[in-house]
Every structure is written in C-alpha cells, then in structure tokens.
Amino acid sequence: MPCLVLTGHPCVGKTEFAKKLRDQALQHKSGLISSVTIVNEEVACVDQTKSECYVTSHAEKSTRSSLKARVDRSLTDDPSSLVICDSLNYIKGYRYELHCLSKATGQKHGVIWILNSSKVAQDWNQKRSREKAEYFYTEEQMKELIMRFEPPDARNRWDKPLWRVDLTPASEMQKLSSTETVVEEALKQSVYNMHDLSEAINTDAAPQKIPQTSAASTFKKGSGFKESRPYFKKKDIDTETSENFKTENSNRDKEIEHSMKTAEEQINEILDSFLMDVAPLKQGLSTQSHVNAQSNVLHDVDSLTSQVCNAIVAAESKSYSGSKLILTQFGEPSIQLACSRHLPLTELKRLRKQYVRWVAKSPPQDTTKR
C-alpha cells in the first residue's frame, strides 16, 4: 500500500488537497490505484477538535500516536491501495517513523510539502472560526505550530522523494518581496532552519563566486614580507552583482510560474512521478520481522549436520568415485546424493560450519521436517 505524507503549516489547504489527490489517484491513467484511505485527525481523534489535539504537548503526543497507529493499520502489502496521511507532520523524527512503516511493508513512500502564504493561512483560520469551529486554531497555537515546523529536506532519505506544492493565490504571490518566495518565508518563520535549508531548496540558484587572486607574497626592502590582497575591479563587481540579480529574478519567475499551475496540474505531475518512477522501499534489518525459533534449534542443527557428514563418509567408503551415494541412516525412503568427486572429511566439516553459521542468522521455524 503506497503512502503519501502531507506536511505543512496549519490552514494552508492540506485537507482540500488530499481530497483532490484521492479523486485524481482513482482516475489516474495508469490504473494502479483502486482504493484510497485518508488518515487525519478527524479519523484518528473523533472525539476532539483540531485545537484540542494540539492544545498541550501531551495532547500532541497522543494525537501523533493515534495517527501513526491508524496509518500502520491501513498499510498493507496491496500495491493498488493508497494511504494519504493528511496532518501537520511537522516533526522530522515523526516523518521518519512513517517512513519506517512504509519500509516494513515494502511499498512506495513520498512526502508532499504544501505551501501557502502566512497571511492566507491566517485568513482561512479566522474564516473557520465562523464557519467550522472544530477546525479552528487559536492565534497562539498557529504561531507556535508554525515556529516549531521542521521543514522537510530532500537530502534525508525519509523525506525523499519530496514534492513542493504552492497553493498561494497569484494576488498574494505578487505581494511578497522581490526576491522572497513562500519557501523562504516558511524557513524564516521556523526555528529549526539550522542546516541552511535555503541552499538545498533553492537548487536552481547558482552560488555566488568571488574573484580570487594568487596568495603570492611580495618582499619589500625594510618592510619584511607583505601578503598581497585580492584586487577587485569595479567592472568585475558590477558584472557579478548583475548576474546575481538576474539569477534571483529568474528563480523568482520560476516560482511564480510554478505557483500559477492549478492544483490539479500539480497533482497529475506528482502522481505520474510517484506511481511510474518511484521504486518501492526495501525492507531493512531494523524493520524485518524476525522468526521466533525454538531455543534448542542450533543444538538440533549441529547434531543433525554431524550425522549427515558421518553418513556421507560411510557411504563414500562403500562406493566408487562418481557414483550415487545412498544414505540409509535417516529412514525410508533413503536419500540419494550425486557426487562427481570424492569429498574429504575436512571439506565436509568446513561446509558444515558455514551452514551452522547461516542457520544461526536465519533459524528455521520447524526443525522436525526432513
């Protein structure tokens, strides 16, 4: 069951986006999705409003546990069922836990970062207070949740693949500063922007280059060694400033052009990439379900392999090289082995030790079977 995790500030349009994503996934041209399950606070915490789900740290912890349990129950081995986790998911450690759940089932996993202007989010929240009080956040809650938001980073394996969906209206997009985007606005409001995510997010921006000169030193009589300083020409500085300004404007234009796409167009691009290009996660050792073997399994295997080695040595003494070896020590029907050459006892012991070491890592469930 593939899983898509939505993350973003409160009141930016995640729930409406999840509904559109569900409808378009069911109608996708690939026909790979037959059912969609949306997991959010309405489903996991039916007796609480959104404000009550995040009123205290204890309530937040309980809400995250309920959401995670619901996602875990929804995830199956069926690749035609899609799970959409529609919540804040603002803690990167929590997103890692959801990533591990998908990894345990060996299914696809992706993260969608929903972006919007902070002014639009506040306006929508105030509108909810009049129309849908159960979805309303207090002003203090909005400020704290936005400040504690840990932006997803595509360099982390649990945030990869990462898609950014900008739902900012065109009118609000023009009100931002000449170089600021909604992504940079979100980074400024977060206290967890400690790894310089702006460089990782703004991948199209070329790094600023400063002209360098050789660090050769010059010697002047009576003054000792004197390190030469970089020499900047006014023409070089003007050219560099012009290039940086053009790069910032180009990135700004690309951001506005991308935001002008409708939500349906952006969803189609995400589904095409997620369903057709993303590979399922491979289950790691940390998420594998280990076999509960019997306590004496190693003793039984060691004893049985010793008997097999002795039986092969005894059968070889009664037959010629290249003939079939018949082992009658293990009951009827007898076991026949085709050996093209003579197996010395030292080689049998070496193979036996390798097999016992392998069984210690992958013990069989039943040691009574022949």
**pLDDT in the model for residue 168:** 87
Q: How confident is the model over 246-277, as pLDDT tens digits?
A: 444 555 455 545 555 788 999 999 999 999 99
Percent residues over pLDDT 70 in the chain: 73
Query: Please, is 153 exposed, middle or buried when counting C-beta atoms within 10 Å of its C-beta (0-12, 13-18, 19+)?
Result: middle
- Beta carbons of 162 and 152 less than 8 angstroms apart: yes
**pLDDT in the model for residue 309:** 86
**Number of other residues whose CB lies within 10 A of the CB of residue 73:** 11
Question: Is residue 96 scored above 90 in pLDDT?
Answer: yes
> 26-35, 126-135, 158-167, 168-177 — which is least confidently predicted?
168-177
Output the six-digit token pair for 128. Answer: 């909810």
Q: How confident is the model over 219-237, as pLDDT tens digits?
A: 344 444 344 444 444 444 4
Q: How confident is the model over 113-125, as pLDDT tens digits?
A: 999 998 899 999 9
Q: What is the mean pLDDT of residues 297-320?
A: 82
Q: What is the mean pLDDT of residues 8-17?
A: 94
**pLDDT in the model for residue 266:** 93
CA angle 31, 34, 37 (to 5 degrees): 130
Confidence of residue 76 (pLDDT cuts 50, 70, 90): confident
CA angle 97, 69, 121 (to 5 degrees): 75
Kind and range of the H or E run holding 324: strand 324-327
Query: Please, is 257 exposed, middle or buried when counting C-beta atoms within 10 Å of its C-beta (0-12, 13-18, 19+)?
Result: exposed
Cα separation, 166 vs 110, in Å, equals 17
**pLDDT in the model for residue 300:** 82
Question: Is residue 209 scored above 60 in pLDDT?
Answer: no
CA angle 206, 211, 216 (to 5 degrees): 145
**Number of other residues whose CB lies within 10 A of the CB of residue 273:** 13
